[in-house]
């Protein structure tokens, strides 16, 4: 809290607001006067900037100096204000919030967000929904990457080894519809939860795809690739299709791989809802849109296999193969539960790739220079 009131008044208000507690008063750097902060060197201001809880007797310039010191230290800074004197700090901050009713026009023009009702609880709603949108984007990206990696590897490996692909173009278009359109609607419309407010803020340079997402992605993709490639290469023997013609046996095998692949994505959609939590079913029934999309996807998949084989190049499957397809997809739930027990490093996965690239470039330059000499 940065205010022009004297320190004692600011301290009393901070106690009532919950900004200060008894332990904070004992710390010298927690409560400070604007004059003291102003007279510090630039280095000293950076050292104490993120330790200050209350600044009293401050001028508008002190507020600006505090924002600049916090930004230089790498923090993402938000500032609230309603007066003309607050305009420099509102403009300098990463996010400036001004009051819509009591705020001056200069303050509104310098800010990024205007609180129309002058209620600070609206800021909580903004943060809550902002975090929800960010989390939903991450859920969709994890789901989309899993589908892409699994489909790509399965088709490439099958094409290279046998010259035929289990997933044809029309089937991939249906998978793409599940992934992009229906998947986006199901995952991007998840309502905000209270757990979002317990998370630490996302840093300015933190990657969108986190290590937790990479872990979940690799576990699910590797499972789908391993199981479906086994059925692709050895499906005729497993299903005992020796008495069928080669063409019909291939169609049954490819239809099963396609059906199992789609059910893997349907079940994995539940896992994508909770990338960090083991209980992926929490609050799922309250999201009617999610449940409706999962239901529609399942019904359409049944119609495709049973009645639209002419357009998709598939054949009807027996009840045993249907149960096996669903069972293969359902295994992704316990697999995700166990997989989330695997710890992940704090350092982003992308940093390791950057380090490898940075190590190779100087080495190549040295080799080139050595070759020229």
Is residue 339 very low, low, confident or very high in pLDDT (cuts 50, 70, 90)?
Answer: very high
Q: Supply the Cα-derived Rg of the chain in whole angstroms.
A: 29
Task: List, in sequence order, every residue forming a beta bridge with 97; answer none if it has no partner.
Answer: 80, 113
Place of tokens 């102003």: 38
Instruction: Give the tens place of pLDDT for each residue, 53-107.
Output: 999 999 889 999 999 999 998 888 999 988 888 999 999 999 999 998 988 999 9
- Residue 197: its H or E element: none
Q: What is the mean pLDDT of residues 299-322?
A: 91
How much of the chain exceeds pLDDT 70, in percent?
92
Q: Rounded to a whole number, what is the distance in angstroms from the first to the last CA of the chain?
A: 64
Phi, psi of 304 (to 5 degrees): -65, -45
What is the structure's pLDDT at 316?
Answer: 92
Instruction: Give the tens place of pLDDT for each residue, 219-249.
Output: 999 999 999 999 999 988 998 888 788 888 9
Top pLDDT among 133 and 178 is at 133
Instruction: Give the tens place of pLDDT for each residue, 345-364.
Output: 877 777 766 666 665 555 55
Instruction: Give the tens place of pLDDT for each residue, 267-304.
Output: 999 999 999 888 899 888 888 899 999 999 999 999 99
Q: Give me the domains of the chain, ranges plus CATH numbers.
A: 7-122 (3.40.50.1000), 129-351 (1.20.1110.10)
CA distance 239 to 262: 19
What is the structure's pLDDT at 363?
Answer: 54
Tokens of 351: 């940093």
What is the structure's pLDDT at 344?
Answer: 86
A 10 A CB-CB count for 235 gives 20
- pLDDT at residue 18 greater than cutoff 80: yes
Instruction: Give the tens place of pLDDT for each residue, 187-211.
Output: 988 888 888 888 888 877 788 899 9
């Amino acid at each position: 809290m940065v205010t022009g009131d004297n320190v004692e008044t600011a301290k009393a208000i901070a106690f009532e607001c919950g900004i200060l507690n008894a332990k904070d008063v004992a710390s010298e750097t927690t409560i400070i006067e604007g004059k003291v902060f102003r007279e510090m060197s630039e280095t000293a201001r950076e050292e104490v900037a993120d330790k200050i809880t209350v600044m009293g007797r401050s001028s508008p310039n002190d507020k600006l100096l505090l924002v600049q010191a916090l930004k230089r230290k790498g923090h993402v800074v938000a500032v609230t204000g309603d007066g003309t004197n607050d305009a420099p700090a509102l403009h300098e901050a990463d996010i400036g919030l001004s009051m819509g009713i009591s705020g001056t026009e200069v303050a509104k023009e310098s800010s990024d967000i205007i609180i129309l009702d002058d209620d600070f609880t609206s800021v909580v709603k903004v943060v809550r929904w902002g975090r929800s949108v960010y989390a939903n984007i991450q859920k969709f990206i994890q789901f989309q990457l899993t589908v892409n990696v699994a489909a790509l590897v399965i088709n490439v490996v099958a094409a290279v080894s046998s010259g035929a692909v289990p997933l044809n173009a029309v089937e991939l278009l249906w998978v793409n519809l599940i992934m992009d359109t229906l998947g986006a609607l199901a995952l991007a419309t998840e309502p905000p939860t209270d757990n979002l407010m317990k998370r630490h803020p996302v840093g300015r340079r933190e990657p969108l795809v986190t290590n937790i997402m990479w872990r979940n992605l690799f576990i699910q993709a590797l499972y789908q690739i391993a199981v479906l490639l086994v059925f692709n290469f050895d499906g005729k023997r497993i299903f005992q299709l020796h008495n069928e013609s080669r063409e019909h046996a291939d169609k049954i095998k490819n239809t099963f791989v396609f059906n199992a692949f789609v059910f893997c994505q349907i079940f994995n959609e539940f896992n994508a809802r909770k990338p960090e939590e083991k209980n992926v079913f929490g609050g799922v029934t309250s999201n009617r849109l999610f449940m409706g999309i999962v239901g529609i996807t399942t019904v359409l998949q049944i119609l495709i296999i049973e009645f639209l084989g002419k357009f998709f190049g598939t054949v009807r499957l027996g009840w045993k193969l249907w149960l096996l397809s669903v069972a293969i997809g359902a295994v992704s739930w316990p697999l995700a539960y166990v997989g989330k027990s695997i710890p992940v490093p704090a350092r982003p996965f992308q940093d390791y790739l950057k380090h490898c690239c940075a190590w190779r470039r100087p080495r190549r330059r040295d080799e080139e220079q050595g070759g020229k000499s």
